[in-house]
Amino acid sequence: MNLRPNVQTGYSVCPHDCPSACALEVEVLDAHTIGRVRGARDQTYTAGVVCEKVARYAERVHHPDRLLKPLKRVGAKGAGDWQEISFDDALDEVAEQFMRAEEKFGAETVWPYYYAGTMGLVMRDGLHRLTHAKKYSRMYDSFCVTLAWPGFMAGTGRLYGPDPREMALSDQVIIWGTNPVNTQVNVMTHAVRARKERGAKIVVIDVYETATMRQADTGLIIRPGTDGALACAIMHVLFRDNLADRAYMAKYADCPDEFEAHLDDKTPEWAAAITGLRVSDIEQLARAIGATKRTYLRMGYGFTRQRNGAVNMHAVTSIATVAGLWPFEGGGAFHSNSGMYRWNKTMIEGLDVKDASVRYLDQSRIGPVLSGDPRDIGDGPPVTAMLFQNTNPVSVAPEQDKVKKGFARDDLFTCVHEQFMTETAELADIVLPATMFLEHDDIYQGGGHQYVMFGGKLIEAPGQCRSNHDVICGLAARLGAVHPGFDMTPRELIDWTLTNSGKPSLEELEETHWVDCQPNFDTSHYISGFGHKDGKYRFKPDWHAVRFRPDIGPLGPVDDIPTMPDFWDVIENADDTYPFRLATSPARGFLNSSFNETPTSLKREGRPELLIHPDDLDRLGIFDGDRVAVGSPRGEIKLHAKACSGVQPGVVVSEGIWPNQAFSDGKGINTLTACDQPAPAGGGPFHDNKVWVRGSR
Ligand SMILES: Nc1nc2c(c(=O)[nH]1)N[C@H]1C(S)=C(S)[C@@H](COP(=O)(O)OP(=O)(O)OC[C@H]3O[C@@H](n4cnc5c(=O)[nH]c(N)nc54)[C@H](O)[C@@H]3O)O[C@H]1N2
Ligand SMILES: Nc1nc2c(c(=O)[nH]1)N[C@H]1C(S)=C(S)[C@@H](COP(=O)(O)OP(=O)(O)OC[C@H]3O[C@@H](n4cnc5c(=O)[nH]c(N)nc54)[C@H](O)[C@@H]3O)O[C@H]1N2
Ligand code: SF4
Ligand SMILES: [Mo]
């Protein structure tokens, strides 16, 4: 989209939970209003491109349903009866309820709960400061990355990789278990550039024919949770056909001979039976990798949202070591650059007042936690008071039946700080209106790229909206929480954090808008060694040592993890009662539960649907468009069937996190998903569900 030359523009950053973290140029029409939004052209990763939903951000900022005033519940929970109150009265009320809860049960009864609705460091992570200063229960942030990151780091010892812009210099880009056309559009910019300029091939591996796969040269539709088998068979062929880079491994890997022997029976035939792929497709992909040093494995989160997800991530990453791809420009394996920024977050998060003896509760297990599950609560106090920022668990958290039951508890007080009346806000006692990113200052980092960026306040907030920082500081003052961070402005916090993390000052960053933090070529490509002490890649990781948070875990059946890459069969396999496997993949128009309020997104997505193979429809006597019931061991929902030949029989896919209310019975997709803390660090196995499907009136 072109910006109009006669309109003032400002620089900003997309704050949403997306690895692309796009640098933005925003038309500022007046002190309260924005116009068009476009990707910043001079930021070399964004390169002028943003997704559709953010190009239309005016729809969200100026949405008629934005929360503008604090509200206090007057009727029953969830009945929708609210009374307007002043912001100060609302904060007084929250503080009083927190103090009362603390008096009764101790500080750990209060559980501040947040996530990445904004990725700004100050507004996302500031809630920790209140948690630590007050010794409230800590939250273990397991929704998203805890299966993926440990899997990558198990092998490499670090969480970063070859410069993502090098995808454009690659001869083969393998987009593995991510759907960037939907979820991080800029991957496509660089992958497609490689195809245009170098004739590179694009390969996509997913459980159904995604929009990304439709743009690929080769698409492999795999059974959910079986990527470890595919990776092993690829590496088997590399060894078998002398395409493995033995010289590279001799220098850079821990146990190549042992690994070769381990892979001996992991044949393409073996993997074909597990993955549902053709032997010839596996052989062909393996040979293409063996013949192409400039192969860039771009690994997403999607294929790790399985109970064996960390093992699968490690297995796929290992391909780059067996084939010796790492040293080459445009080659190697990339998942995230999140580990390279080396922030000092003491001031933002209050790390200096953190007490390691305070319990943590697992974000994904909010349902069981609120049900008082002894596995989570143990001998500790029940959770009776909560504050939510940047997250909408009453849509996005697994085991929704338990989540909703928990929120309905009369002895639970909740304050939700939000931009919209989400399903979580609907069940709150106090709702506070929040600013959007264009209305406050923050800094952001790329996960899928390498920039740190400043997004300054460009317009005034509407109504009484306050930033997360304002709310946290307002509560801290009332609760007697002490930390210098509560007395700083967001700009001061940003400047402190930048300068204490070896980055340019805020003043400099405002001038340049962004700073490139990619480590040098030899470091990014692990030429100067992998992140482990001996500098070697681990085919045989110490899974006990692989943590997401150093003070938490390991979790799950870590001792059962196979010692080397394998198909680890701990997924929720289909059986007679639950004959299908369900993945709950992202919708293009929504971002998690965000944007499910904007008109163009709603129009694009239509209604909740279940993609199912036509043969399965026939077998079940169901027609395209029929209403169907779907059940997992956790619960049952109703939505509409959509015939899809781009999925294996026996596998079903439902795109998007719609509100529960968008489904016929008021039960959304996460009614079906689970939270049983897979090894080694927990996490949401959102795409790993066994289900039955039946016709339904
Ligand atoms: N439009 C849009 N953008 C988003 C989001 C969104 O909801 N909508 N969510 C944002 C967030 S929070 C995140 S973390 C990122 C995540 O973005 P991604 O890394 O892309 O991860 P997912 O969105 O979980 O899933 C990606 C793909 O993995 C596929 N998949 C599921 N199981 C398997 C499997 O076992 N093997 C393989 N090979 N593929 C599998 C899914 O079908 C899906 O197409 O995207 C962000 N961007
Ligand atoms: N079925 C299924 N469920 C999933 C997933 C899946 O693939 N399938 N993906 C999972 C993943 S990866 C993730 S990350 C989670 C994400 O789930 P959520 O954490 O709920 O993610 P978002 O929808 O990105 O953001 C939540 C809310 O943050 C609010 N918000 C944004 N900015 C601010 C701010 O500055 N202040 C305040 N106070 N609020 C703000 C938005 O209005 C939005 O309602 O969902 C998980 N749930
Ligand atoms: S692609 Fe991701 S980071 Fe970029 S504008 Fe869209 S949601 Fe934001
Ligand atoms: Mo996520």
pLDDT tens readout for residues 219-248: 999 999 999 999 999 999 999 999 999 999
- The size of the chain, in residues, is 697
CA angle at 36 for the pair 32 and 39, rounded to the nearest 5°: 120
Looking at residue 8, what DSSP letter applies?
Answer: -
The Cα 584–Cα 91 span in angstroms is 37
Neighbours of 528 (CB within 10 A): 12
Assess contact for 437 and 87: CB atoms under 8 A: no
Q: Is 660 close to ligand 2, i.e. is its CB under 6 Å away?
A: no
Q: Is 56 close to ligand 3, i.e. is its CB under 6 Å away?
A: no
Start-end of CATH 2.40.40.20 domains in the chain: 580-695
Pick the range with the lowest mean pLDDT from 1-5, 10-14, 213-217: 1-5
CA proximity to 683, closest of 308, 346, 345: 308
Nearest ligand, measured from the Cα of 591: 1
Q: What mean pLDDT is predicted for residues 519-545?
A: 97
pLDDT for residue 37 is more than 70: yes
Phi–psi pair at 418, nearest 5 degrees: -145, 165
Assess contact for 385 and 582: CB atoms under 8 A: no
Q: What mean pLDDT is predicted for residues 287-312?
A: 98
Give the torsion sign (CA, 407, 410, 416, 419): positive
- Identity of the amino acid at 439: E
Give the burial class of 55: count Cβ atoms within 10 A of its Cβ; 0-12 exposed, 13-18 middle, 19 or more buried.
middle
Q: Is 21 close to ligand 3, i.e. is its CB under 6 Å away?
A: yes
The Cα 198–Cα 223 span in angstroms is 32
* Residues flanking ligand 1, CB < 6 Å: 17-18, 144, 177-179, 182-184, 205-208, 210, 222, 224-225, 227, 300-303, 305-306, 583, 585-588, 590-592, 687
According to CATH, the topology of domain 580-695 is Barwin-like endoglucanases (2.40.40)
Determine the distance separating the centroid of ligand 1 and the alpha carbon of 302, expressed in angstroms.
Answer: 4
Give the torsion sign (CA, 25, 26, 28, 32): negative
> Three-state SS for 538?
coil
Start-end of CATH 3.40.228.10 domains in the chain: 148-338+536-560
- Identity of the amino acid at 577: T
The Cα 16–Cα 24 span in angstroms is 12
pLDDT grade, residue 1 (50/70/90)?
A: low
CATH number of 148-338+536-560: 3.40.228.10
The Cα 315–Cα 309 span in angstroms is 10
Q: What mean pLDDT is predicted for residues 392-404?
A: 98
- Identity of the amino acid at 226: T
CA-nearest residue for atom 14, ligand 2, is 144
Question: Which residues have CB under 8 Å from 318's CB, separation 6+?
Answer: 155, 231, 235, 259, 537, 539, 565
Assess contact for 612 and 646: CB atoms under 8 A: no
CA-nearest residue for atom 6, ligand 3, is 51
641-693 pLDDT tens trace: 999 999 999 999 999 999 999 998 999 999 999 999 999 999 999 999 999 99
**Kind of pairing between the strands at 442-445 and 201-206:** unpaired
Ligand 2 pocket test, pick from 386, 593, 609 with the greatest ligand atom count within 8 Å of Cβ, gives 593
Preceding peptide of 554 cis, ω within 30°: yes
Question: Which residues have CB under 8 Å from 37's CB, separation 6+?
Answer: 1, 24, 25, 26, 27, 50, 54, 55, 56, 57, 58
Q: Which residues pair with 291 in a beta bridge?
A: none
Tokens 């400043």 correspond to 454
Neighbours of 378 (CB within 10 A): 8
> Three-state SS for 366?
helix
Q: What mean pLDDT is predicted for residues 355-361?
A: 96
CA-nearest residue for atom 29, ligand 2, is 390
| Ligand 2 atom nearest 684 alpha carbon | 10
pLDDT for residue 346 is more than 90: yes
pLDDT of residue 553: 80
Q: Which residues pair with 389 in a beta bridge?
A: 114, 417
pLDDT for residue 137 is more than 90: yes
pTM of the model: 0.98
Give the DSSP H/E element, type plus range, for residue 12. Answer: strand 9-13
pLDDT for residue 402 is more than 80: yes
Determine the distance separating the centroid of ligand 1 and the alpha carbon of 587, expressed in angstroms.
Answer: 9
Burial 226-261 (b: 16+ CB within 10 A, else e): bbbbbbbbbbbbbbbeebbbeebbeebbbbbeebbe
The Cα 202–Cα 109 span in angstroms is 51
Instruction: Give me 362's structure tokens.
Output: 């697992």
Q: What mean pLDDT is predicted for residues 551-561?
A: 92
The Cα 143–Cα 305 span in angstroms is 10
Assess contact for 214 and 249: CB atoms under 8 A: no
Looking at residue 436, what DSSP letter applies?
Answer: -
Neighbours of 664 (CB within 10 A): 15
According to CATH, the topology of domain 71-142+341-441+450-516 is Rossmann fold (3.40.50)
Phi–psi pair at 290, nearest 5 degrees: -60, -25
Q: What mean pLDDT is predicted for residues 116-121?
A: 98
Q: What mean pLDDT is predicted for residues 57-63?
A: 97
> Three-state SS for 585?
coil
Q: Which residue has the higher pLDDT, 277 or 599?
A: 277
| Ligand 2 atom nearest 123 alpha carbon | 35
Determine the distance separating the centroid of ligand 1 and the alpha carbon of 177, expressed in angstroms.
Answer: 7
According to CATH, the topology of domain 8-61 is Phosphorylase Kinase; domain 1 (3.30.200)
Radius of gyration for the chain, computed over Cα atoms and rounded to the nearest angstrom: 24
> Three-state SS for 36?
strand
The Cα 249–Cα 325 span in angstroms is 11
Assess contact for 494 and 442: CB atoms under 8 A: yes
The Cα 443–Cα 579 span in angstroms is 47
CA angle at 563 for the pair 560 and 567, rounded to the nearest 5°: 75
Q: What mean pLDDT is predicted for residues 280-309?
A: 98
The Cα 148–Cα 684 span in angstroms is 10
Ligand 3 pocket test, pick from 14, 598, 600 with the greatest ligand atom count within 8 Å of Cβ, gives 14
Start-end of CATH 3.30.200.210 domains in the chain: 8-61
Alpha helices in 291-399 (DSSP H): 309-322, 346-349, 366-370, 374-377, 393-396
The Cα 51–Cα 182 span in angstroms is 8
Burial 562-584 (b: 16+ CB within 10 A, else e): bebbbbbebbbebeeebebbbbb
Q: Is 669 close to ligand 2, i.e. is its CB under 6 Å away?
A: yes
Determine the distance separating the centroid of ligand 4 and the alpha carbon of 120, expressed in angstroms.
Answer: 15
pLDDT of residue 5: 84
| Percent of the chain's residues with pLDDT above 70 | 100
Start-end of CATH 3.40.50.740 domains in the chain: 71-142+341-441+450-516
Q: Which residues pair with 386 in a beta bridge?
A: 111, 414
Average pLDDT, the chain: 97
Where are the extended beta strands (E) located within 475-587?
514-516, 580-583
